[in-house]
A = this chain, B = another copy of it.
């Protein structure tokens, strides 16, 4: 059994790691920490966890993070916190999967510009492997430090990658209009995510300035080999989970929906967690992948306006965070990539 420590287990992504690992046959959570809820059972915060919630949260201690007690450490903490913890962990020999944004950028000046936060572990930024398995599987296998991608980024990059890689669209002017459930904002109590504020509402926020924007551009450039410029417009929507991203790009040559769909099917033929659905009948919806580690993708050509439209949907806490982190764990540990991550979502 792989021994797992989770730092920040009381937050949504931390608790989701506990939930998903309770379904994993080869991993075992040996430590789950929380600053705010140390001493409480995780199940008191998340009753739906059932037996998986019996674990008692504790304050982070050095022992928890030592490779003597844990083989892999998941950091489910706000950005800035990983910068503090990671250097010591990596030095001690632990494998680290970081769910924050701290190590997602090769160029730390990009991090500093968009996160408005100094990067204090620049020497590690170059060693971190970007943990999007569909694009960087081989590098992930040998990594010591994995930067787990952002939720929006996973959705947008998977939906645009075939178009960028093949150069079918004008990569200099891509527009992404994305919609996220409230759990994307974390468990923090705030006015913005009060029921009275969110119910029957759609709230655009951080239009043009969301910190996931440069991460999308960097990933698509690394994997697709082309400079990409994205105008990103996220929205908070009345759902607990789910991301729906819709990307618009100008087609450089005439294409049809059927042609683009075949292209996507070729790209993702062997991917266990990317399902290409035929548009328009099978267009992904926000709720379509909730509860699963899948990313559903469709592509359309609006032939009248020469525009490609790529739609993707995923569960922001699973394929957009904790499920993907376990997919990375499986790669790291030489296990089957899908282990513990299949299984259907609830509908309705």
Contacts and interface: CB of A to CB of B under 8 A. Distances in A.
Interface stretch (A118-126, A159-167, A292-300): A292-300
A100 to B, nearest CB: 20
A237 B284 CA distance: 14
Contacts of A191: 189
Interface in A26-73: 46-53
B280 A246 contact: no
A229 to B, nearest CB: 5
A227 to B, nearest CB: 12
B348 A292 contact: no
A79 to B, nearest CB: 21
Task: Give how many copies assemble into the complex.
Answer: 4
A214 B307 CA distance: 16
A187 B289 CA distance: 20
A309 interface: yes
Q: Which of A49, A53, A200 has the most CB of B within 10 A?
A: A200
B240 A208 contact: no
A300 B53 CA distance: 24
A235 B194 CA distance: 17
Contact of A182 (B15, B189, B195): B195
A172 B58 CA distance: 49
B304 A208 contact: yes
Interface of A: 12, 15, 19, 22-23, 46-53, 173, 175, 177, 179, 181-183, 187, 189-191, 193-209, 229-231, 233, 235, 237-242, 244, 246, 248, 250, 275, 277, 279-280, 282-292, 294, 296, 300, 302, 304-305, 307, 309, 311, 342-348
